[in-house]
Amino acid sequence: MSAVGDVLADLRRPIHDDPAANGWLDVVLSYPGFHAVAAHRLVVRPLYHAKIPILPRFLSHVVRFLTGVEIHPGARLGRALFIDHGMGVVIGETAELGENVTLNQGVTLGGTSLERTKRHPTLGDNVVVGADALVLGAITVGSGSRIGAGSVVVRDVPPNSTVVGIPGRVVLIDGKPVQQPARQQVEMPDPNAALIARLAERVDALERRIAAQDGDEGRTDASAAL
């Protein structure tokens, strides 16, 4: 499929799926996510493929300045990508996105390695990533999965799963709850226990001394009376 065809598919996504969209002209004029993806497909990515140095990265930086969306020239984007609102979205160099993916504002598809290898996530088709979620490393998010807002995902996600939390954990697969492993209980020392024990010993010793003194006084009084 040509880059123009992919851009048209990107244009249709918000028209069909975003109730706030008022037709194609609204999307073309006022959707920064669409602007960023269109620029990537039509200009930045072709220059990157042509192995032209520096210019693709510079243009992606300009697009980031204008839209708030940072897409590395090397990222592979599937058709019908919808970046909703867009501000703060980061898509790394070796990231790969399937078709009909939705990214909300603040999403990061980032890397965890400094080596020149596959170090960014792969997202399957129809994946939805919630606002401010982090998907990190060369992991795979299966098709049809949903990543909850604010989650941090660092492990592979099975298809048709729902992931929430930090670190992200799968709570639903195919709409059915997933049994969570029991958390290991760690014995932590009570910092007050030793202090209380010492105080109790001290109080007990003082009470014995007081009792002994009372006994001595009682015997002295008895001797004086005799």
Question: Which sequence spans correspond to the domains of the chain?
Answer: 3-177, 187-226
Q: Report the phi/psi class of residue 88: left, alpha or beta, with left for phi > 0 and alpha for psi in -120 to 50.
A: left
Tell me the per-residue pLDDT of 39-91, one tens digit each, with 9 for 90 and over. Answer: 999 999 999 999 999 999 999 999 999 999 999 999 999 999 999 988 999 99
Is beta strand 102-103 parallel, antiparallel or unpaired with respect to 90-91?
A: unpaired
Q: Is the pLDDT of residue 223 over 70?
A: no
Tell me the per-residue pLDDT of 97-113, one tens digit each, with 9 for 90 and over. Answer: 999 999 999 999 998 87
Stretch 197-223: mean pLDDT, rounded? 76
Beta bridge partners of 210: none
| pLDDT of the residue at 181 | 65
Stretch 1-12: mean pLDDT, rounded? 88
Count CB-CB contacts under 10 A for residue 33. Answer: 26
pTM equals 0.75
Banded model confidence at residue 134, pLDDT cuts 50, 70, 90: very high
User: Rounded to whole angstroms, how far apart are CA atoms 39 and 64?
Assistant: 10
φ/ψ of residue 100, rounded to 5: 60, 35
Q: Is the pLDDT of residue 1 over 80?
A: no
Question: Helix, strand, or coil here: 145?
Answer: coil
User: Rounded to whole angstroms, how far apart are CA atoms 186 and 102?
Assistant: 40
What fold, for 3-177?
UDP N-Acetylglucosamine Acyltransferase; domain 1 (2.160.10)
| pLDDT of the residue at 197 | 77
Stretch 24-40: mean pLDDT, rounded? 94
Helical residues (DSSP H) of 31-164, grouped into ranges? 32-39, 45-49, 55-67
Q: What is the DSSP letter of 102?
A: E
The Cα-based distances of 125 to 94, 108, 174 in angstroms read: 17, 18, 15
The residue written with tokens 């997202």 in the block is 123
User: Rounded to whole angstroms, how far apart are CA atoms 172 and 169?
Assistant: 9
| pLDDT of the residue at 59 | 96
| Residues 7 and 42 sit within 8 Å (Cβ to Cβ) | yes
User: Rounded to whole angstroms, how far apart are CA atoms 139 and 112?
Assistant: 10
Tell me the per-residue pLDDT of 135-187, one tens digit each, with 9 for 90 and over. Answer: 999 999 999 999 999 999 999 999 999 999 988 899 888 888 887 666 555 55
Laid out side by side, the sheet with 122-123 consists of 96-97, 122-123, 140-141
| pLDDT of the residue at 103 | 95
- The more confidently predicted of residues 172 and 38 is 38
